Amino acid sequence: MNNAPSDSHEYAAMLQPMDEYNQSLLAHVHPLDWVDPEPAPCYDLVVIGAGTAGLVIAAGAAGLGLGLKVALIEKNLMGGDCLNVGCVPSKSVIRSARVVADMHGAADFGIHAPEPIAIDFAAVMARMRRIRAGISHHDSAARFRNLGVDVFLGAAQFVDRQKVMVNGKCLRFKRAAIATGARAARPQLQGLEAVGYLTNETVFSLTECPQRLAVIGGGPIGCELAQAFQRLGCAVTLIHKNDHLLDREDAEAAAIIQQQLQQDGVNLLLNVQLERVEQGETGKVLHYQQNGIQNGIQKGGSGSITVDEILLGAGRSPNVEGLNLEAAAVEYDRRRGVIVNDYLQTSNPHIFAAGDICMDWKFTHAADAAARIVIKNALFAPFGLGKSKLSNLVMPWVTFTDPEIAHVGMYAAEAKAKGLETNEIKIDFRAVDRAIFDGETDGFVKILHQKGIDRILGATIVARHAGEMISEISLAIVAKQGLSTLSSVIHSYPTQADAIKKAADAYRKTLLTPRTQSFLKLLSKLSLF
């Protein structure tokens, strides 16, 4: 859910081009002929927002077969950012961009790709729209109606602590969940509104590749899309306010991605403060001030670049506007979103929240996990007994650049802040046979464990499929299994996941102290007697 127009007929203008794929998508996620049901006298649960968190809450509560009366309200497109303007379209485009990269590198494998490589950008985007439309039925209004959920397509506004209005109809509830998500943050940059810009909500409507694209923000979204559009034939300049990309990730991991983006041809402008934007004769002109060192060279002073399009990829803003949260006695902050406790309960004990509207973890899988906590705590924790905590989740995440960065658990600095002494084991992919075969040796597995105890605290993986590999370590942390257990797990050869076993074996070797060696020597003598 976001700040899109409330008139459903305007959605057709948002989903461009209105081809067969976008028509199919719209028919599923916001059918123009939808008729809201008559409200029940009182709902057990009203869910506001039909993104990942809202859909999981609504489907989970209605699908238990307990006769719970559930309502779901969405003013924009069901499926939220993930389906419509987030994970699904972005990863589809990234996959096409990866094919281009493979073709450019094919000569290393004895394969000679045609030069120049013909990139049909319109076909890339059509493929994305086809994939998106093809899976949209899972999030459709009709599907949720068939699950027994009363679906209302319109803007929700609280009336009081236990009532919400939508399309002139009043819905009374025993419990409610706010899952209205977030949108791309708009920087306060002079001239930006006048010249126009793209966000994740509009960039996937492109049918022609911009010749010159400025991406503002060197976080995960900015890096992913900058690399993808560069590979698809766009001249990309990535602008970041700090001295290196992906500031929140492991520094060694971020350095690999930064180097890869430069190899792909992305122009990096680091330590940059944007000052203003204006429309020039040949494009949109961004004026900036740069300070600090870039690539070992002292940079400073003012500069400018001219581009055809500007893509915002710097942060997210919670969708709190228009909900009339004051009437429901729900505390919120315009930057942080709805304020919740560790049980995802708001200042109104009848109302919960989940997903990007209230959480620092702004991932689809985090919203899914939080939604399950809301179901339990809102509906199945009488007198507050047996409630689940958000802080108990072990949360992995992935930046889907090429290679990917995947992380779970703590970083070393976090562990130190908690007073934990740690050791770190790092296995470089140059030592992993499958990575050598695949030509994917730029990366590593790094596992942080508690000193003196076989307890995994966290891990970072940099690999082309790091997101597929991190789950093994996530499982070990959740199951409270250490590196000794991972060492005992047989990993198929040759796989890149063998790097995890190598790290675990390296830990086992640290246990071979002089005292242990003496004991093993005695055992061997007795065994050979």
**Euclidean distance between CA atoms 169 and 37, whole angstroms:** 10
Q: Is 218 annotated as a binding residue?
A: yes
Q: Supply the Cα-derived Rg of the chain in whole angstroms.
A: 26
Whats the size of the chain, residue-wise?
Answer: 529
Token pair of 106 as six digits: 């094919």
Give the CA distances from residue 56 to residues 17, 34, 65, 373, 404, in Å, rounded to whole numbers and listed in that order: 30, 21, 15, 11, 27
Question: Tokens in use for 411?
Answer: 């970083």
Is 191 known as a binding-site position? no
Write out the H or E segment, with its range, that includes residue 142: helix 141-146
Helix (H, G, I), strand (E, B) or coil at 490: coil
Asked whether residue 209 is marked as a ligand-binding residue, the answer is no
Beta strands in 330-443 (DSSP E): 332-333, 337-338, 351-353, 397-399, 404-409, 422-428
Tokens 């891990």 correspond to 459
Residue 315 marked in a binding site: yes
> Using CA atoms, how far apart are residues 180 and 337, in angstroms rounded to an integer?
10
Distance separating alpha carbons of residues 73 and 152, to the nearest angstrom? 5
Q: Which residues contact 44 (CB under 8 A, 6 or more apart)?
A: 61, 68, 69, 70, 173, 174, 175, 379
Is 482 annotated as ligand-binding?
A: no
Name the strand (E) or helix (H) holding 165: strand 163-166
Q: Is 265 annotated as a binding residue?
A: no
Nearest to 270 by CA among 314, 212, 228, 218: 218
124/15 Cα distance (integer angstroms): 16
How far is residue 127 from each of residues 90, 271, 451, measured CA to CA in Å? 12, 37, 49
Q: Is 31 annotated as a binding residue?
A: no
CA distance 371 to 340: 13
The 3-state secondary structure of 234-284 reads CEEEEECCCCCCCCCCCHHHHHHHHHHHHHHCCEEECCEEEEEEEECCCCE
Q: Helix 220-231 vs helix 251-264: angle between axes, to the nearest 10 degrees?
A: 20
Q: Residue 292 carries which DSSP code?
A: E
DSSP tally for the chain: helices H, then strands E: 17, 23
Is 221 a known ligand-binding residue?
yes
φ/ψ region of 268 (left if φ > 0, alpha if ψ in -120 to 50, else beta) reads beta
- At 76 the three-state DSSP class reads coil
Annotated binding site for FAD: 91, 356
Annotated binding site for NAD(+): 217-224, 315
Annotated binding site: 91, 217-224, 315, 356
